[in-house]
Amino acid sequence: MAGEAKLHIWDAYWDLRVDECPCDVQFCDWLEKEKITNAAIFHFGTGGHHIVGIRTAENGSNNAVMGITASPQEYETFVQLAIERPDVEKTYKTFFGDIYQLDARLLPQFEVVTLFHLCEFRTEKNDAYGALTDRQVLDMFTQKTKSGGYLLFYSGSFAYDAALRIVAEWEKESPVEKVGMYETLLVYRKK
Ligand SMILES: C[S@@+](CC[C@H](N)C(=O)[O-])C[C@H]1O[C@@H](n2cnc3c(N)ncnc32)[C@H](O)[C@@H]1O
């Protein structure tokens, strides 16, 4: 029987606003600085601009990006992008959904995972349908990160304090080590 709770979508649209939210552009810069190529990347929160997928496709890195958005409006711009730019769509896939509903069985291993928006959007609306917690999402993606791979957080997030509390516990209990900061990005490596 269908429950009454509806999916907690992000009923908004985020265009590229680098001054306000530089994480995606700085992430692209970091990938290039670290010379990360041929990698599988998971990206939490694509925005409607899809800069990570576009820049990755255009810079010759051959990185493949799987993105998630909980915004129907942002997903629509992905569909348009995919139709108009098959060169981008070849290495960039985004799907619509709630990250807190992800099923580990459907996820491959990644070399790089971004969790820039950890703790920003999870509320009692996600509880209403038994969604994962922030820590469970972090643990799932830790398992889905290859040894030597990276997990990145965003210090400019409005929920960074909450994310850091989770990260501090996770760091003690998981096979990860802190690499350091790149601009606003907090970088960890899986051992
Ligand atoms: C403020 S926008 C930032 C977009 C992009 N990272 C940037 O910095 O330009 C937040 C993003 O998180 C996504 N988001 C919010 N809640 C989500 C959820 N539960 N699951 C997946 N994505 C979510 C939104 O769809 C949106 O793409």
* Interval 115-140: pLDDT, tens: 999 999 999 999 999 999 999 999 99
Confidence of residue 36 (pLDDT cuts 50, 70, 90): very high
Residue 76: both structure tokens together? 């629509």
Going from the Cα of 85 to the center of ligand 1, the distance in angstroms, rounded, reads 22
Q: What is the pLDDT of residue 3?
A: 72
Ligand 1 lined by 115 (C-beta under 6 Å): no
Q: What is the pLDDT of residue 1?
A: 52
Instruction: Give a three-class secondary structure readout of 35-65.
Output: CCCCCEEEEECCCCCCHHHHHHHHCCCCCEE
Report how far Cα 118 is from the mean position of its chain's Cα atoms. 9
Confidence of residue 163 (pLDDT cuts 50, 70, 90): very high
SS3 of residue 188 by DSSP: strand
pLDDT digits (tens, 9 = 90+) for 164-179: 999 999 999 999 999 9
Q: What average pLDDT is seen over the chain?
A: 97
Going from the Cα of 104 to the center of ligand 1, the distance in angstroms, rounded, reads 20
Confidence of residue 152 (pLDDT cuts 50, 70, 90): very high
Going from the Cα of 151 to the center of ligand 1, the distance in angstroms, rounded, reads 17
Q: What is the pLDDT of residue 22?
A: 98
C-alpha distances (whole Å) from 149 to each of 95, 142, 176, 177, 181 are 23, 9, 10, 11, 16
Ligand 1 lined by 42 (C-beta under 6 Å): no
Q: What is the pLDDT of residue 4?
A: 84
What structural domains does the chain harbor? 23-190 (3.40.50.150)
Mode of pairing for the β-strands spanning 185-190 and 145-154: antiparallel
Task: Categorise residue 175: left if φ over 0, alpha if ψ from -120 to 50, beta otherwise.
Answer: beta
Q: What is the mean pLDDT of residues 46-56?
A: 98
Q: What is the pLDDT of residue 180?
A: 98
Residues of the chain with pLDDT > 70, as a percent, come to 99
